[in-house]
Structure 1
Amino acid sequence: MAIPLSLLDLAPIAPGQTARESFAASVELARAAERAGYRRVWYAEHHNMPSIASSATSVLIGHVAAHTDTIRLGAGGIMLPNHSPLVIAEQFGTLGTLFPDRIDLGLGRAPGSDQNTMLALRRDNSSADTFPQDVQELQGFLTGKSRIPGVEAVPRPEAPVPLYILGSSLFGAQLAAALGLPYAFASHFAPDALHQAIGVYRDSFRPSAQLAEPWAIAGVNVIAADDHDLAVEQKNAAYRARTRAFLTRGPIRRNFTDAEIDDFLASPSGGQLAQMTRYTAVGTAAEVRDYLEAFAKEAGADELITAHHAQSVDDRLRSIELTTAP
């Protein structure tokens, strides 16, 4: 059986591009994924990041859903400690009512931002401590079994919006297993605990009303092109751009040459950054398919969620088209 493929769209705003152009690109990427048979497209909540346009995640999901027909759309994820469970239940209940059986809700507990932005979100360092309870409160609202007497989330779709737990450590794996929910591991940028986390999740899983058997999703980076050398060139350009953005955060404002970026990536500090994208499939359609097949087997994943990093929209669209289920 082919391993289901999904898409993680970070709604990037490229230099010289507007957020409106980014949203138009997200629609085109979702349409391409729909045509290619991908299972779902997820968008991540980030704040105070000029290069990412998905901060109002539920709004973006609704926009893309209105311009697609069948593909599932959702959050990968909503950082629940930034919000009240009731508000998120209302937002995703609305989405689930407007687009029945097409909406997913992935949940994480990281801030998705820096310390000052956390304060602007009215969040403090203890906000994540109640994440398990908040997930259950949200689940109660979505299923019509509210844990708060006299409080219901309106609207509530006929079929509950399914929940997913996201994580990059053992905490999320343990919580997803205890609640009987699907688990998505962020191995596309935090690869170190992938195998241990999925092992813990499978070993500890308890069936629930939503899910009878464990379902593990692993993130993987993909750059597919018609020619191997072109894919490598696109990967190098994308990861240099990513490193350049990392180096110019905060008070540093200077242009780094490609040679300086390459030297940094070869240094111990840069090597740590490069390791974050350890799981990356690069090459032709056949090469990428072989990589994904081996990666899914090694990781013990039931589904792969792919992040396509080519810098131009046309190259990302082609990467999505070329990437097929192993």
Structure 2
Amino acid sequence: MQKEIPFSILDLAILKKDQDAADAYRRSLDLAQNAEIWGYKRFWLAEHHNMPHVGSAAPTILMGYIAQGTQRIRVGSGGIMLPNHSPLIVAEQIGTLETLYPGRIDLGLGRAPGTDQRTASVLRRGRMESVQEFPQDLEELQSYFSEDNLDSPVRAFPAEGLNVPFYLLGSSMDSAYLAAARGLPYVFASHFAPTYFQQASRYYQNHFQPSADSRKPYLIACINVVVGETDEEAQYLATSFYQMALGIIRGRSYPLPPPVSDMNAIWAPHEAAALQNMMAYTFVGSYETVSKGLENFLAENHLDELMITTNIYDHQKRLESFALTAKAIQSIKPKKQAVS
């Protein structure tokens, strides 16, 4: 039985070198408007803090900006880092968005801080143990959307009774355990943390417990994709992404810089090796090369959806890459296999 796989976008509103956040937001909206035409299912924004070149510090505000400027594409958080927030506030904000843009809002939730530990402590007012309360906070957040909360002394308006889908995000085993136990869709950050992808995916699918939210597991994998006119051009375009990603290894925040002809002049051998391991699920090349790579990736994994992130310095080249990625995925009709 053939099944076309849905595909979506994860965006961080990355600032380009010598450009400001307003420019990043305009580019994000332009991308979302085009993605809607190309057939992307959803457009998600991720929460990050204390990173001068990552513009998505306030994902719920950006979600409203993107939703207002589009017509059909689902808009969501990929994710809101729940330990940083009161569940009540999250429910009120997401409920407001769902009321304004009914049937288009997704709520993706993570337990990581989305920042360094010092900033996380400021966000959480020193209560770093709040990450251990993630399961309880998730349950509280779900209750605020439930009509059963009618008689509670604390209620979330206008969230109460709204059908907003929840997704759990993860890069290790913790969220796989919780997503399976709670019967929620699961999104793995394989675009930068590939180590536990296979193990977490298998556990989630094999141990999924049906719930009122989902009768069967729903697994999304996020990957990096850069498509160029040729393999050589794609590799050249990808050097902007590689330079920016070096910041993760070096513990710094870099803007998205112009591409370069030789990365060996920028990174040390050990940094190149570390980045290669981190970016194991990265597909760079011509349309033909990336199409084959994605087809193989889907054949080897039991996925329900692909989420794409692409960082290219030239905005038009970035749009072209996303358009070709959509075309490549739409041409693939992977067989849905039984989970082993």
Matched, 1:164 2:201: no
Which amino acid counterpart does residue 145 of structure 2 have in structure 1?
L
Partner of 1:238: 241
Partner of 1:179: 182
CA shift, 1:158, in A, is 5.7
Partner of 1:107: 109
Partner of 2:264: 259
Q: Take 2:264 and 2:182, find their aligned partners in 1: how far apart are those partners?
A: 49
- The aligned runs of 1:149-228 (5 Å cut-off) are 149-156=152-159, 159-228=162-231
Quick check: 1:243–1:261 contact (8 Å CA) kept in 2?
A: no
1:268-300: CA deviations, max 9, x gaps? x54223311111111122322221222123232
Find runs of 4+ consecutive structure 1 residues off by over 4 angstroms. none
1:217-252: CA deviations, max 9, x gaps? 0011000122221111111232023315753729xx
Q: Take 2:287 and 2:319, find their aligned partners in 1: how far apart are those partners?
A: 13
Q: Percent identity?
A: 44
Q: Please give the root-mean-square deviation of Cα atoms over the aligned residues, in Å.
A: 2.0
- The aligned runs of 1:267-306 (5 Å cut-off) are 267=270, 269-306=271-308
- 1:2 is aligned, of 1, 4, 22, to 4
- 1:20 is aligned, of 14, 19, 22, to 22
Which amino acid counterpart does residue 212 of structure 2 have in structure 1?
A
Farther off after superposition, 279-288 or 177-186 = 279-288
CA shift, 1:192, in A, is 0.7
Q: Take 1:147 and 1:117, find their aligned partners in 2: how far apart are those partners?
A: 36
Q: Take 2:31 and 2:64, find their aligned partners in 1: how far apart are those partners?
A: 15
What secondary structure sits across from 2:55 in the alignment? coil
Which amino acid counterpart does residue 195 of structure 2 have in structure 1?
D
What secondary structure sits across from 1:234 in the alignment? helix
CA shift, 1:135, in A, is 0.6
What secondary structure sits across from 1:42 in the alignment? strand
TM-score of the pair, normalised by structure 2? 0.89
Farther off after superposition, 65-74 or 154-163 = 154-163
Q: Take 1:282 and 1:123, find their aligned partners in 2: how far apart are those partners?
A: 42
- The aligned runs of 1:122-141 (5 Å cut-off) are 122-141=125-144
Quick check: 2:121–2:128 contact (8 Å CA) kept in 1?
A: no
What secondary structure sits across from 1:8 in the alignment? strand
Quick check: 1:12–1:51 contact (8 Å CA) kept in 2?
A: yes
Q: Take 2:251 and 2:185, find their aligned partners in 1: how far apart are those partners?
A: 36
Quick check: 1:104–1:161 contact (8 Å CA) kept in 2?
A: yes
- The aligned runs of 1:39-118 (5 Å cut-off) are 39-118=41-120
What secondary structure sits across from 1:184 in the alignment? strand
Unpaired segments of 5 or more residues in structure 2? Answer: 254-259, 333-340
Which amino acid counterpart does residue 261 of structure 1 have in structure 2?
I
Distance 1:148 1:272, change over 3 A: farther
Quick check: 1:244–1:261 contact (8 Å CA) kept in 2?
A: no
